[in-house]
Amino acid sequence: CIIVTLQSVVYTGHYSKDCQNFESVFKMSRKTFDYICTLITGDFSRKTQGFRNFRFGDKTILALEDQVAVALLRLTTGESLLSIGNRFGMNHSAISNITWKFIESLEDHAISHLKWPDPEEMATIKAKFEKLQGLPNCCGAIDTTHILMCSSAQPNSNVWLDCENKNSMVLQAVVDPDMRFRDVVSGWPGSMDDSCILRTSGFYKLCEKGGRLDGQMELPGEPAGSVVREYIIGDTGYPLLPWLMTPYQERDLSPAKAAFNKQHAAARMVVQGAMARLKERWQVLKGELWRPDKHRLPRIIYACCLLTNIMIDLGDTHRERAPASHDHDDGYYQQFSNVADDGAVAQRDVLCQFVSRLGSKLPE
C-alpha cells in the first residue's frame, strides 16, 4: 500500500534499514532525497506557514519530508492529483499546492545544478567527447522531444497539434557526455519543427552573438591552420552551422564521411538517452498528462531536469538504470533541414578528415 510506504519509509526512525524499499518508491537514493529536503527546507518552513498544517487522512500532520515525498510521487508516477489525493485521504487541491510549492522551491534553490559549463567543466566535457567518439572540441549534443498534452486542455486551438496529430509541447535540450542537462527550454507548441525552435531560442541567439561556443582549437596532427570552433552536435533536423555540426545527408557516402556519420551518431546517443531516461523516470512527462496547463507545463519539465541533474551530481546510482529504448519520441518521423552555412561545411569536412585518420584508434 503506497500510503503505508510513504508514512513509514520517509521517516528514518521507522524505516532506516529498508533502503531498497525506499528507492523502489521514489526512484532515488535516500541520500538524494535528504539533500533535496535540505535544499528547500527554508521555503517550506519560512515562506508559507500553512504548509505545516496539511494532514493525511488519519489527521497526521505532513512534515517537510512528507510534502517532498508527495511532490516526488506526483512527478514519478504521473498520476492525477485526484488519484494521489485519494491514496492519502487528502484533497486534490492540497496535492497541487504541495507540488507547486516544491517546484517553486527547486527553481529558487537548485538552479546551480543546471547551468552552462564553466571553462574547467567544458575542458572535461570536450575531453570526454574526443576520447569516446573522436570528436575534438565538441561541447554537447542537442535534441528535442514531445511532451504529450490532453487535447481537452487546449480547446479551439490547432497550434498545439503536431505532425502526428497529437497535442504536445516541445522540450529542447543540450546535454553533456554524462547525460547532464546543460541548457533546456520548453513551451513551444508541437506544431513547430526543430530548426524553427532552435532559431527562436535564447541558446541560438547566444551562440550567434559569440556568447557561447566561440572558442577554437588547432587539430593535432593536421596541416597548419586546421582550426575548428567549439560546437555541439545535432541530427538532420537541424541546420549545419559553425557551432552546430550535423551528419552528412547525401547518398553514396565516401568511407571518410560514413566514418564521421558513425561517430556522430554514437556521440548523439547521450542526448537520446538523456531524453528517454527523463521520460522514463518522471512519468508525469510520459503519455498524456492529466489536464496540463500550458503555462505551468514548462516549469514541470524544468523541475524534472533539475532533479535529474541533482541525481547525477550526487552520484545516485539509481539514475543509471537504462530505459528499454532510447527512442524518446516513438512514432515521430525524422526531420530534415537543408540549411548549411558555407563555413560550417568546411569545418565539418575538416572534422571528417580528422575522424577518418583516427580510424581504428576509436572505441567500438
Domain boundary among 56, 91, 112: 112
**Which of helix, strand or coil describes residue 363?**
coil
Query: Are residues 107 and 121 part of one domain?
Result: no
Query: Are residues 327 and 233 part of one domain?
Result: yes
Is residue 133 within 8 Å of 141, Cβ to Cβ? no
Query: Are residues 283 and 184 part of one domain?
Result: yes
Nearest to 305 by CA among 176, 128, 157, 135: 176
pLDDT of residue 242: 97
Nearest to 256 by CA among 266, 268, 264: 264
Nearest to 197 by CA among 338, 343, 341, 337: 337
The set of cell numbers assigned to 234 is: 545535432
For 95, the domain range is 2-112
**Mean per-residue pLDDT over the chain, rounded:** 85
Q: Which helix (H) or strand (E) holds 357?
A: helix 342-358
Is residue 126 within 8 Å of 136, Cβ to Cβ? yes
pLDDT of residue 50: 41
Say what percent of the chain tops pLDDT 70.
Answer: 81
Q: Give the end-to-end CA distance of the chain in Å, rounded to a whole number.
A: 46
pLDDT of residue 119: 96
Q: In the chain, which stretches have pLDDT less than 70?
A: 1-20, 43-59, 151-157, 222-225, 287-293, 319-325, 359-364
Query: Are residues 121 and 107 part of one domain?
Result: no
Tell me: the pLDDT tens digits for 135-184? Answer: 999 999 999 999 988 765 555 467 788 888 888 899 999 999 999 999 99
Query: Are residues 270 and 291 part of one domain?
Result: yes
pLDDT of residue 230: 98
Is residue 256 within 8 Å of 353, Cβ to Cβ? yes
DSSP class of residue 117 equals: P
Contacts of 284 (CB under 8 A, 6+ apart): 74, 75, 76, 77, 78, 300, 304
Nearest to 100 by CA among 78, 74, 64, 80: 74
**Strand residues in 149-226 grouped as ranges (E):** 168-175, 181-189, 216-218
Query: Are residues 35 and 21 part of one domain?
Result: yes
Nearest to 117 by CA among 198, 215, 47: 215
Query: Are residues 341 and 306 part of one domain?
Result: yes
Domain boundary among 65, 85, 112: 112
pLDDT of residue 57: 60
pLDDT of residue 11: 42
Tell me: the pLDDT tens digits for 39-70? Answer: 998 766 554 444 446 666 666 778 888 889 99
Structural domains of the chain, count? 2
pLDDT of residue 4: 39
Query: Are residues 229 and 93 part of one domain?
Result: no
Beta carbons within 10 angstroms of residue 13's beta carbon: 6
- Assign 3-state DSSP to the chain and report helix, strand, coil percentages, each to 5: 50, 15, 35
Tell me: the pLDDT tens digits for 256-282? Answer: 999 999 999 999 999 999 999 999 999
Q: Which helix (H) or strand (E) holds 233?
A: strand 231-233
Query: Are residues 125 and 107 part of one domain?
Result: no
CA 110/CA 107 separation, integer angstroms: 6
Contacts of 203 (CB under 8 A, 6+ apart): 172, 174, 183, 185, 212
Query: Are residues 29 and 176 part of one domain?
Result: no
Query: Are residues 66 and 212 part of one domain?
Result: no
**Strand residues in 20-120 grouped as ranges (E):** none
Domain boundary among 112, 143, 178: 112
Query: Are residues 126 and 102 part of one domain?
Result: no
The set of cell numbers assigned to 209 is: 552573438
